[in-house]
Amino acid sequence: MNTEYAYSVFMSIRHGLLALLSQGSRHGYQLRAEFEASTGATWPLNIGQVYTTLARMERDGLVAPGEQDEQGRIVYSITPDGATEVGRWFATPITQTERPRDELAIKLAMAVTTQDVDVAGVVQAQRTATMRTLQELTRSKRGLDSPLDTAQTLILDSKIFQAEAELRWLDHCEAVLSRRSLQHPQEKQ
């Protein structure tokens, strides 16, 4: 996992937890369960991650610990700064640079410029793999039908559109590569 990706995941978890706290105070286990429920378990969290994130947000003044419940679990609440931060997060579009670096694009660019790499083979293998991912995602989506599943459905849809875009791009790469090899047969295929 590259650092940029790790950072964007970290920020998403942080803001996700904060968004949940903006609806009322909760303890860690509750936060984890609700986070997973609303993202369709796309990002499974371990409880350690939840408490680490809460501790950092407490340090940054975004949340405040409250009393312990009868089982000794600390209930956290959002602070005014935290509420402002949630509002800012929802209001700010995500820019390309915050997204993970596109590993696949880099891999293909490298494949094209490296001697003796079967680029068409790389494209084909990736296409099969991505299509399988898309089939799995569609299968998961088919399992969800109740209107309560809207959040999960939208998350899956987002991944479906991403897989779709990747497949289209791979088709495009294949078409460009085969045209190149027809036009410049002396070039490496």
Partner 1 sequence: MIDRDPSPVPPVAEEDPGRALVVELADVSRVHVEGTQFVVALKEVSLKVSAGELIAVMGPSGSGKSTLLNIAGGLDRATSGGVMVEGELLNVLLPSRLAALRRRRVGYVFQDLNLIPSLTAVENVMLPRELDGVRTAKARQEALAVLGEIGVADLAERFPDELSGGQRQRVAIARALVGERRLILADEPTGALDTATGDDILRLLRARADAGAAVILVTHEPRYAGWADRVVFLRDGQIVDSATAGLASAR
By the criterion CB under 8 A, which residues form the site for partner 1? 124-139, 142, 160-161, 163-164, 167-168, 171, 175
CB of 69 to partner 1, least distance (A): 41
CB of 107 to partner 1, least distance (A): 12
Q: Which residue bears the tokens 């407490």?
A: 58
CB of 11 to partner 1, least distance (A): 23
Q: How far is CA 145 from the centre of its chain?
A: 23
CB of 134 to partner 1, least distance (A): 4
Strands (E), 9-71: 26-27, 63-68
Angle at 49 between CA 15 and CA 8, to 5 degrees: 45
93, 95, 103, 181 from 137: Cα distances, Å: 25, 25, 21, 35
Query: Based on CB atoms, which residue is closest to partner 1, 64 or 167?
Result: 167
Query: Based on CB atoms, which residue is closest to partner 1, 19 or 156?
Result: 156
Query: Based on CB atoms, which residue is closest to partner 1, 101 or 139?
Result: 139
Query: Based on CB atoms, which residue is closest to partner 1, 77 or 162?
Result: 162
CB of 70 to partner 1, least distance (A): 44
Query: Based on CB atoms, which residue is closest to partner 1, 79 or 126?
Result: 126
CB burial of residue 156 (10 Å; 0-12, 13-18, 19+): buried
**Is the four-CA dihedral 167, 172, 174, 177 of positive or negative sign?**
negative
Angle at 132 between CA 130 and CA 135, to 5 degrees: 115
Please provide the size of the chain in residues: 189
